[in-house]
Amino acid sequence: MLSERQFAEDALFTLVAFDKISMMSMYIQNHVRCQRFPHLLEGYDRLTSEQLGKALLENERRLQGCLPWRQADNSVAQKFLKTVEIGSRSVWGSNAERSQCRHKAFAYQTRFGQPALFVTLTPNSDNSLVLAHYTGVLSVDSLFDLLEARLPTKAELREASRENDCASARLFMRHVDAFIRHALGIDPRTRKKLSYRGLLGDVKAYFGMVESQGRGTLHIHLLIWLNHCPPNSTAVMKILGSPQGNVFRERVASYADSIVQNDLPISLDNYNCSSCGASHERLIGLQIPEQARKDPTGRSTKNRSRYRPAEPALVACGRCGAQFSSQHLIRNALLKARPECWPIWRQPLSPNEIEQQAVAESVCRSTKKKAVDIICDRESVHASYCCDLSIREREKLTADLLHQANHRQMPLCKADDDPFRNDTLARLLEISPPSTSDARMAQQAHYMVASLAVLQNQHLWCHTTSCFKNSRVTKSDTYCTSLSSLSRTGTSFQSSGVELKRTLGHEFINGFNYELMATFKCNHDIQVLLGGIDTTERIHYCCKYIAKPQKQLESQVAVAVAALKRREARENAEHTTTATGVDRLTMSRRRVLG
């Protein structure tokens, strides 16, 4: 936690106790190492700050490619830095401690073969009613009462997340534990398989890596191994070359379609052209322009003030020739399926269901009778809420305004100005936790998942800065790496893994799992690898974020040199106050520990 960017400017360090424990562990391990192998510290007592600074700058220039790599450098400064790196592996969250994840990941690959799935989970730890309950923003007795609470603003939730890191970490870990237990079928505490099969299949092993994002929240990358899968690319190619190759392809594609989808659960077939009223059958998919993969704002500064980019036109009407974006189709389908109030439950709870719900809520109530009374009151309030005509009129007016704002190609605007992302119903769906009453929803559950998929898993057509980077899958860093395979094709098994099908209107929808979206209500990504040749690169991709430095090296050089200078000043002071001074081994050990 202390290594994430959110703590970089935090002067309070609320989790300083964990930092002290890890530092004490580092001191103990380094002391034992020095006692057992004293020859490793020879020469450290004569190291100067100039030598250390020169070695650090040389290492940085080698990382930048300005200097050639050396097979071995036996200088005292380089040996000193290596010893410090080894010692800092005991400090939780340090660069050296995180760099070991790469070795562990490849050890898993050696034991279990290549992973079958690569999953990324990004819990909404800074935009959730549960976080508001943890931090005291909402004054409710329990999580069961969140639907009756006031809807907090985005600013309140973000402020609560920044001010209470323990609550954010607690919510994040609850999401991760629930995912491991129910999606993987493994007990996160004992790490043993449970009696039931996980959502993603028969999982053999998993390896997870947590990293911080730019906005200060956490997300996790998971490499997942499945039973009865080919262990490597050679085995996959052997199966594909056998008479059972086509059957294997079909099974892999079928498995991929069963755990991840690009299509929304609501249909786009009811769309009528906004110009001539033609039906969905008359729609024609346009060729996806190359500009859709580039930054639409990448224009000259002179024209940027006058130019306002809009969504790319990917669909045309076969009758009138009008062109519009795929986002326009999705917004239209969501508006037509929009309920008049939320939530909508099919039937009231039966006496037996009330009894079961009371047992679940009794841990939060003083007595079971009080739990039953609260549940009955909640049902009564919900029934009267759904029958309130003023609420229905207000929702109808909101839907009409959103219909007017649904342009065929919406221009670029800030997230705070987007009427669809700031819709009250959309925000309620996004920040509400899963409820036991969700099972009482029928078609409304499809609307909820479709809305969440658009909010969480729709790739922004205007892209972000993280979309553009040097990669083998794109021509240059001006092309979005996430949309490198943007095409309307069926699910196929390629050398790099499984490519999911994309249908008309869903070109920008990233793959999601229906159950995960309905439960966690957050962004997630599932990639089926199954022996693809790029599997090893995925391990490097996961671990490079774990091993990357969290600070600029210039500041690291300055901090390291300043620490050595302070140590030299202490040594001079000790030599002045004591006649004998400190032995060389103790001096070397203290320099390693800082």
Place of tokens 């029934």: 383
CA angle 145, 147, 149 (to 5 degrees): 75
Under the banding of pLDDT at 50, 70 and 90, the label for residue 12 is very low
| pLDDT over 70, % of the chain | 84
Cβ-contact 436, 379 below 8 angstroms: no
- Is residue 303 over pLDDT 70? no
Task: Among 16-25, 137-146, 450-459, 491-500, name the most confident range.
Answer: 450-459
How far apart CA 245 and CA 289 sit, in angstroms, is: 35
pTM for the model: 0.81
Q: Return the closest-CA partner of residue 434 out of 120, 141, 137, 147.
A: 147
The residues near 548 (Cβ < 8 Å, ≥ 6 apart) are 95
pLDDT digits (tens, 9 = 90+) for 176-231: 999 999 999 999 999 899 998 999 999 999 998 888 777 778 889 999 999 988 88
Greater confidence, 89 or 423? Answer: 423
pLDDT higher than 70, residue 88: yes
Q: How far apart are CA 49 and CA 565, in angstroms?
A: 6
Structural contact between residues 450 and 469, judged by C-beta atoms closer than 8 angstroms: no
Per-residue pLDDT band for 79 (boundaries 50, 70, 90) equals confident
Spatial strand order of the sheet with 523-528 comes to 203-212, 218-226, 117-122, 523-528
- How many C-alpha atoms does 163 have within 13 Å on its Cβ side? 11
| pLDDT for res 593 | 67
| pLDDT at residue number 1 | 41
| Pair 198, 183: CB distance under 8 Å | yes
- Give which of 44, 481, 531 is closest to 248, Cα–Cα: 531
Domain ranges for the chain: 5-96+564-593, 280-485
Written as six digits, the tokens of 470 are 């040097």
Pick 277 or 525 by higher pLDDT.
525
Structure tokens given for 273 = 């052209």
- Going by their DSSP bridges, the two strands 315-317 and 323-324 should be labelled as antiparallel
